């Protein structure tokens, strides 16, 4: 018992000592301001990203790209005189780790907001925590419909196209161009897969066969075998990039030929090619959709801007759609900060995002309002041809309910001269 006592006493000492330290550092960091993470010269935002683990392929490049864009903005004086610091935490795409790192960001680092936290299963687990602490939860890097619940989670906003919206758009294409084919589905065994399947089945009716996978088990042999057995001719995937590659590779291995139609989040060609290595030609003919400029489209002024930022502030990382995505997130966040004005508060930025009206790099509409917290509202189809992923056809928009899939014709805007959104 005495030993237990001494152990407890030791803990007390250690805890008291560390609390002293952390008090000092946080006191110095926030400078006595009333808004967490905001001082006269700085804004601290944080994110959780899979830098390692089963979903790291491709996705690990997103946050550094966002950070690079912030450094580009900071070099030009920041937003309203404040420089943006971006703290990136690795959660390994493990919902349990996300819990820890987000608590650390909010409680210890006292971030102003969580920006672009990645993943459906991971981010779903921290919604309640962020709401309790009134932390703005901006532009979640996932297309789950959970982000669009303004009544329940007033501070949460999506970035990606809803997986249901995407499912409807992809399924419409399948219905038109591949009529009468046997369509099957494989998706992640969580809201990502379920939302996607819901959209597909709204257009096509029940699919012929459906399979699911979990990221903790990197083997899709049984699933691909079952789809082959079922005689599937079109396979629609709601997969992260690693599992897109795995599916393509496994299908080829067992001699299963089908038209693969893949969700935008799992379809970045450079990520898939890198993983397939010598088998990269397997991605030929892959159909997907996107809403941001293609990384290979050098004529696009946004790509020119992003390449410049990438060269200057991102160590000239291998330029792909993940980088385009990361920088577009950064651009939208800077737009939101500008809209929120000089007196930056947590309520202020939420109000500014709800006011909406953001124009940016995408070919699809952003429809933020007090009633709508979902991300982009449409997509244009892409196809891999001759080892290059490119857009075809026109952009479509729709909703996550029973609305029709309709062409969206608004012209994409060009970036401002200096690459930084102006104060509105």
Name which position in 75, 77, 81, 107 contacts another protein (CB under 8 A). 107
Residues 224-243 touching another protein, rule: CB under 8 A, are none
Residue with tokens 């929120």: 340
Residue 103 engages another protein in binding (rule: CB under 8 A):
yes
Residue 4 engages another protein in binding (rule: CB under 8 A):
yes
Residue 26 engages another protein in binding (rule: CB under 8 A):
yes
Cβ neighbors of 244 (< 8 A, separation 6 or more) are 237, 260, 262, 266, 267, 272
Residue with tokens 């690990």: 60
Could you give the dihedral angle defined by the CA atoms of residues 55, 58, 61 and 66, in that order, rounded to the nearest 10 degrees? -90
Name which position in 76, 214, 311, 404 contacts another protein (CB under 8 A). 214
Beta strand 183-188 with 156-158 is: unpaired
Q: How many residues of this chain interact with another protein, rule: CB under 8 A?
A: 48
- Closest to another protein by CB, 94 vs 300, is 94
Residue span binding another protein (CB under 8 A) among the ranges 18-26, 199-207, 356-364, 412-420:
18-26
- Closest to another protein by CB, 215 vs 382, is 215
E strand map for 227-306 = 234-238, 259-262, 287-290
Name which of 256, 261, 209 is nearest 238 in CA terms. Answer: 261
Provide the CA 270 distance to its chain's centre, in angstroms.
Answer: 17
Name which of 162, 161, 158, 136 is nearest 147 in CA terms. Answer: 158
Residue 17 engages another protein in binding (rule: CB under 8 A):
no
**In the structure encoding, which two tokens stand for residue 301, read together?**
């002024």
Residue 423 engages another protein in binding (rule: CB under 8 A):
no
Residue span binding another protein (CB under 8 A) among the ranges 30-38, 90-98, 323-331, 373-381:
90-98
Residue 166 engages another protein in binding (rule: CB under 8 A):
no
- Closest to another protein by CB, 12 vs 312, is 12
Name which position in 31, 41, 77, 128 contacts another protein (CB under 8 A). 128
Contact 141, 119 (CB under 8 A): yes
Q: Rounded distance, CA 83 to CA 395, Å?
A: 36
- Closest to another protein by CB, 108 vs 424, is 108
Name which position in 47, 66, 116, 215 contacts another protein (CB under 8 A). 215
Give the contact letters, 48-87, x = binds to another protein (CB under 8 A), - = no: ---xx-------x---x-----------------------
Residue with tokens 């589905």: 185
Name which of 84, 152, 161, 165 is nearest 124 in CA terms. Answer: 152
- Closest contact distance (angstroms) between CB of 16 and another protein is 7
R_g of the chain computed on alpha carbons: 22
Give the contact letters, 175-194, x = binds to another protein (CB under 8 A), - = no: --------------xxx---
Collapse the DSSP code of 399 into the 3-class scheme (helix H, G, I; strand E, B; otherwise coil) and give the result: coil
Residue 16 engages another protein in binding (rule: CB under 8 A):
yes
Residue 278 engages another protein in binding (rule: CB under 8 A):
no
Residue 342, H or E segment: none
Length of the chain: 424
Neighbours of 14 (CB within 10 A): 10
Q: Rounded distance, CA 54 to CA 93, Å?
A: 7
Residue 379 engages another protein in binding (rule: CB under 8 A):
no
Residue 1 engages another protein in binding (rule: CB under 8 A):
yes
Contact 50, 142 (CB under 8 A): no
- Closest contact distance (angstroms) between CB of 238 and another protein is 13
Residue 14 engages another protein in binding (rule: CB under 8 A):
yes
Name which position in 47, 92, 273, 382 contacts another protein (CB under 8 A). 92
Chain contacts with another protein (rule: CB under 8 A): 1-8, 11-12, 14-16, 18-19, 22-23, 26, 51-52, 60, 64, 90, 92, 94-97, 99, 103-104, 107-108, 120-121, 124-125, 128-129, 132, 189-191, 212, 214-217
């Amino acid at each position: 018992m005495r030993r237990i006592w001494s152990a407890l006493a030791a803990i007390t000492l250690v805890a008291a000592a560390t609390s002293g330290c952390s008090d000092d550092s946080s006191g110095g960091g926030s400078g006595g301001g009333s808004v967490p993470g905001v001082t006269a010269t700085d804004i601290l935002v944080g994110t959780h990203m899979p830098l390692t683990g089963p979903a790291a392929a491709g996705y690990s490049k997103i946050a550094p790209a966002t950070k690079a864009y912030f450094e580009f903005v900071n070099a030009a004086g920041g937003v309203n005189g404040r420089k943006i610091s971006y703290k990136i935490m690795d959660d390994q795409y493990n919902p349990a780790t996300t819990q820890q790192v987000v608590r650390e960001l909010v409680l210890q680092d006292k971030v102003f907001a969580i920006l672009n936290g990645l993943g459906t299963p991971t981010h779903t687990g921290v919604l309640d925590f962020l709401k309790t602490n009134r932390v703005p939860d901006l532009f979640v890097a996932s297309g789950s419909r959970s982000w669009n619940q303004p009544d329940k989670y007033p501070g949460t906003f999506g970035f990606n196209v809803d997986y249901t919206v995407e499912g409807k758009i992809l399924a419409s294409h399948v219905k038109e161009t591949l009529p009468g084919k046997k369509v099957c589905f494989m998706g992640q065994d969580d809201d990502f897969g379920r939302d996607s399947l819901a959209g597909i089945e709204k257009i096509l009716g029940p699919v012929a066969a459906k399979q699911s996978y979990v990221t903790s088990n990197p083997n899709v042999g049984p699933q691909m075998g079952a789809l082959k057995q079922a005689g599937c001719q079109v396979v629609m995937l709601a997969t992260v990039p690693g599992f897109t590659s795995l599916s393509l590779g496994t299908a080829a291995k067992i001699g299963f030929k089908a038209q693969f139609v893949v969700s935008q989040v799992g379809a970045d060609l450079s990520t898939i090619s890198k993983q397939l290595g010598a088998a990269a030609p397997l991605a030929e003919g892959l159909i997907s959709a996107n809403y941001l400029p293609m990384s290979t489209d050098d004529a696009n002024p946004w790509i020119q801007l992003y390449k410049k930022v990438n060269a200057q502030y991102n160590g000239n990382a291998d330029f792909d759609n993940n980088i385009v995505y990361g920088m577009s997130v950064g651009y939208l966040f800077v737009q939101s900060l500008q809209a929120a004005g000089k007196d930056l508060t947590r309520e202020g930025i939420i109000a500014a995002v709800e006011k909406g009206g953001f124009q940016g790099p995408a070919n699809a509409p952003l429809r933020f309002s007090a009633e709508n917290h979902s991300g982009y509202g449409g997509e244009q189809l892409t196809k891999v041809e001759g080892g290059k992923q490119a857009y075809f056809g026109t952009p479509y928009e729709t909703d996550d309910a029973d609305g029709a899939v309709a062409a969206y014709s608004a012209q994409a805007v060009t970036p401002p001269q200096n690459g930084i959104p102006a104060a509105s």
